[in-house]
Structure 1
Amino acid sequence: MATARTQIPTTVMGVSKQNGQARSADLQSGSQPSTVLNVSQKGSSIPHTSGGIRFGDDWKKSLQLPQKDMRVKTSDVTATKGNEFEDYCLKRELLMGIFEMGWEKPSPIQEESIPIALSGRDILARAKNGTGKSGAYLIPLLERIDLKKDHIQAIVMVPTRELALQVSQICITMSRHMGGVKVMATTGGTNLKDDIMRLDETVHVVIATPGRLLDLMKKGLAKADKVHMMVMDEADKLLSQDFVILIEEIIGFLDRNRQILLYSATFPITVQKFMSKHLKKPYEINLMDELTLKGITQYYAYVTERQKVHCLNTLFSRLQINQSIIFCNSTQRVELLAKKITQLGYSCFYIHAKMMQEYRNRVFHDFRNGLCRNLVCTDLFTRGIDIQAVNVVINFDFPRNAETYLHRIGRSGRFGHLGLAINLITSDDRFNLKAIEDQLVTEIKPIPGSIDKSLYVAEFHAINQEEEEEKEAALDSPLENRWMVPGILHIIC
């Protein structure tokens, strides 16, 4: 997938307690994303009528393709059978949207999933984070939408509000040439009146979190009796105790002949009970020959709790970061760390579940658009969030289990690209570190004195010349001026 590089401002004036964003002139003009996406497919540069592109025309010449992504990709996405998107007999208008997304060829999960989903069969699919699962279900979903019918035809269930907004934006962009596919995103924490007004009009695809969708169904607002496809993205989370009762109720509103697609990197034991009850002879896909992404290099730095901020500052000065996500284990520590990072002079946002939804939307939107280099967050941000510019993930607080660790580090190295995962380990974490290594069958190495940029930087000119000069000046200054901790100098200096 091609991602246009953005210029990320580094001037920060402070951190707002209310919305998790650093205050600067660059941010005050940022746009505010809406929570519910009311979509009208207009403004496409290519006509939707049959007379727009005539038989025999080279329709690909009319596409507005993004800049070609020349970054190295690993076998996680390149080990394919050699199929093309055109091999699946998709509508030309859908193919146009796929190519304009920058998707050139299907990834392994898309190769395995798309033809089976198009046949109407239930699917249980396991694939690594960041290997194209969203495309694996959205492409057949959009192909099967009948624009002559004015009711809800497909539902995508996701566990978090941010993921709902992300998936809906991909769906909208991909269907832009299809002549009127209506996509609606609905999540908790938003105005119910907006949803009521939206559902009074035609909606073909609903992308939602379980609680809000079930509420709309019970009120008779979201009529799902004619839904032919339901997708569960991050299905392991949706089948956890937090959501599984809601999911069971939602399925009760659907047509008995519906198709159910489950996608995740991991699945709990409870999936077997769910499968036997709700899926009909599901086609099982398992592309998890190993759990961690091949493009992610994992390191740990052994520090005391009091040294963590100093170590983080040293990492910032030594690494070439496009964008980074920094994880903490509590909302209070997220806010405290974001404030400290800002005081050190780095641009920083923060996000967690206790923030108002409109502020969460704003932070997610602005970080994704490159208005800030670093984001501090809780595990709210571990599920499915795809930001191509993120090349470094730092576990400021080491996660408590292997599943959380796997989803956290999967925020870098997206779609076969390269990335770093750096873990700050205290004496309390050392046994947990070994347990996670054993469970994931992976190796987390001690951080070396210098990290080869080729492990995580695709283009060596990603950071502008002015920043490089500032970094070189900092490295020429005395040690005591660099906020370095003597106890870890031998590790990362």
Structure 2
Amino acid sequence: MSDQSFANLSLPPAQLKNLEHLGYREMTPIQALALPLALAGKDLIAQAKTGSGKTATFALPLLKQLNPRDFGTQALVLCPTRELATQVATEIRRLARYQQNIKVVTLCGGQSIGPQIGSLEHGAHIVVGTPGRIKDHLRKKTLSLKRAKCVVLDEADRMLEMGFIEDMRTIIEQTPASRQTLFFSATFPKDIKAISVQFQKDPEHVQVESLHNDQQIDQQFYICQKSERLESLVKLLCLHQPQAAVVFCNTKQATQQVCAHLREQGISASALHGDLEQRDRDQVLVQFKQLSCTVLVATDVAARGLDVDDLPLVVNYDLPRDAEVYVHRIGRTGRAGKAGFALSLLADSERYKFDAIADYQQRELEFEAVETLTVEAATIPAPPFVTLCIAGGRKEKVRPGDVLGALTGEAGINGKAVGKITVMDYVTYVAIERGQANKALKRLTDGKIKGRKFKVRKLR
């Protein structure tokens, strides 16, 4: 048995079997450092990057503490965004499979509060949510944290950046003093230290490489006039022909301007910014992950919770004001040992930002003029998939297998033409190879799913 084996931990045999079934082979560095401490009931500050296995690091200890017969809320996980909360809740449910009837409820803004209140009335062992909506439920007295044994702040530094510090304080103050408090954060700013001093008892501080290994990310910088920035971005995209790329802008206005320009050039693009309605935001993210939209043009705050395992390219249309933000942006490519690629545009007046990024990474960086590049292609290919939206989801008991069956049944389309299927509460998104999209749309419109008719439309 290796030193990194989960079998070395004080976990129930049924959970160890479940971990093996879920493909948890060996502990990641953060798990090996933090799990023994968290399982022993210690308070913790853990510095680790996204994708390091931190969800299991807090989920395993809080699941071990649960009393399944008590339907009061025994654990609370606070996340900065709805997307991250949804990912975390999904993973906790998987890790909870070793014991029956563990109820995990997600409470986030952007969704109607009524159904959430209904879910809470039936009890919730674990609540995962965003600070604003958790505070709403506490104020309405639809949620009580008086029996919480464990409180987790996931991506605590992001919650601070987004202005949630007072909400975080208000929420933690409504939990028992005897609770276990676990902080997970990529960075450790002074505000996190202040909250830790206020709410944690002798916390252990563990840290693994908190920023992505930028050595596996090829960083290239191009200087250009501000007036030529849009044309320069198109030039870079045409040169590299990515199947998927995230373009970062510093403002909502810039995301809209860049997105409109890319579309004019025949490039599939969608904007992601803080003013989008939650439904539109979900749709944009799903299309990007399903490879039916090539370029996602995003602000930093809007991109929180965007977790794409295999992102080939990140572009900084605007360099951020903070070098650490730059490193977080480019860390979205080059994950899981893959080589990553990051391109950045800068004006002559932004040389100080370039210098700050080089200093922060303690490495030599170079830039060249964008005019030196020779580009033959005038645009990039259309995305390989088209996303169809079905007006029925989890609440109507729709499952991915039902959609696949409806598409591929007698004389249906080839299963290989069906990409990712994403089932949400009230809608389901299915990716179809572009050449088969119209046939699939007709098939779903004319046919039935689980014996029922659903409205289906093709997303642009």
Contact 1:158–1:164 (CA<8 Å) still a contact in 2?
yes
Q: Which amino acid aligns with 1:364?
A: L
Corresponding position: 1:343 with 2:264: yes
Aligned-residue offset at 1:306: 2.9
2:82 to 161, 168, 178: 161
Q: Which amino acid aligns with 2:31?
A: Q
Q: Which amino acid aligns with 2:116?
A: D
Corresponding position: 1:219 with 2:136: no
More strand by percentage: 2
Q: What CA deviation, in whole Å up to 9, does each residue of 1:120-146 have, x standing for no partner?
A: 111011123432222322233333333
Q: What CA deviation, in whole Å up to 9, does each residue of 1:259-286 have, x standing for no partner?
A: 1111111111223322222111101112
Contact 1:322–1:389 (CA<8 Å) still a contact in 2?
no
Corresponding position: 1:334 with 2:255: yes
1:312 to 226, 233, 243: 233
Corresponding position: 1:137 with 2:58: yes
What's the counterpart of residue 171 of structure 2? Answer: 250
- Cα distance in 2, alignment partners of residues 395 and 315 from structure 1: 11
Aligned-residue offset at 1:302: 1.1
Q: What CA deviation, in whole Å up to 9, does each residue of 1:419-464 have, x standing for no partner?
A: 11211111122111111321343444436989xxxxxxxxxxxx99
Corresponding position: 1:183 with 2:99: no
- Cα distance in 2, alignment partners of residues 104 and 323 from structure 1: 30
Contact 1:129–1:410 (CA<8 Å) still a contact in 2?
no
What's the counterpart of residue 196 of structure 2? Answer: 275
- Cα distance in 1, alignment partners of residues 328 and 172 from structure 2: 27
Residues 121, 420 of structure 1: alpha-carbon distance in 2 compared, 3 angstrom cutoff: same
Residues 274, 442 of structure 1: alpha-carbon distance in 2 compared, 3 angstrom cutoff: farther
Aligned-residue offset at 1:358: 1.4
- Cα distance in 2, alignment partners of residues 290 and 364 from structure 1: 24
Please state whether the residue corresponding to 2:356 is helix, strand or coil. Answer: helix
CA root-mean-square deviation: 2.7
Contact 1:292–1:406 (CA<8 Å) still a contact in 2?
no
- Cα distance in 1, alignment partners of residues 240 and 93 from structure 2: 36
Residues 329, 382 of structure 1: alpha-carbon distance in 2 compared, 3 angstrom cutoff: same
Contact 1:398–1:425 (CA<8 Å) still a contact in 2?
yes
- Cα distance in 2, alignment partners of residues 310 and 211 from structure 1: 40
Please state whether the residue corresponding to 2:301 is helix, strand or coil. Answer: helix
Contact 1:158–1:234 (CA<8 Å) still a contact in 2?
yes
1:197 to 108, 111, 118: 118
Aligned-residue offset at 1:241: 7.8
Please state whether the residue corresponding to 1:349 is helix, strand or coil. Answer: strand
Aligned-residue offset at 1:293: 4.1
Q: What CA deviation, in whole Å up to 9, does each residue of 1:332-380 have, x standing for no partner?
A: 2112212222232222222111011111122223323333232111112
Please state whether the residue corresponding to 2:110 is helix, strand or coil. Answer: coil
Count of matched residue positions in the alignment of Structure 1 and Structure 2: 373
Residues 423, 195 of structure 1: alpha-carbon distance in 2 compared, 3 angstrom cutoff: same
Residues 189, 87 of structure 1: alpha-carbon distance in 2 compared, 3 angstrom cutoff: same
- Cα distance in 2, alignment partners of residues 290 and 332 from structure 1: 29
Please state whether the residue corresponding to 1:411 is helix, strand or coil. Answer: coil
TM-score computed with the length of structure 1 as normaliser: 0.70
Corresponding position: 1:429 with 2:387: no
1:441 to 362, 371, 378: 362
Map 1:30-429 onto structure 2 (within 5 A): 82-95=3-16, 98-99=19-20, 101-240=22-161, 242-288=163-209, 292-319=213-240, 321-429=242-350
Structure 2 gap ranges (5+): 374-383, 386-460
Map 1:445-456 onto structure 2 (within 5 A): 445-446=366-367
Deviates more, 1:340-349 or 1:182-191: 340-349
Task: Return the structure number with greater relative CO, CA threshold 8 A, min gap 6.
Answer: 1
Q: Which amino acid aligns with 2:247?
A: I
TM-score computed with the length of structure 2 as normaliser: 0.74
Residues 409, 90 of structure 1: alpha-carbon distance in 2 compared, 3 angstrom cutoff: same
- Cα distance in 2, alignment partners of residues 374 and 102 from structure 1: 32
Residues 181, 343 of structure 1: alpha-carbon distance in 2 compared, 3 angstrom cutoff: farther
What's the counterpart of residue 469 of structure 1? Answer: none
- Cα distance in 2, alignment partners of residues 431 and 294 from structure 1: 22
Structure 1 gap ranges (5+): 1-80, 451-462, 465-493
Deviates more, 1:186-195 or 1:126-135: 126-135
Please state whether the residue corresponding to 1:263 is helix, strand or coil. Answer: strand
Aligned-residue offset at 1:82: 4.5
Deviates more, 1:176-185 or 1:111-120: 176-185
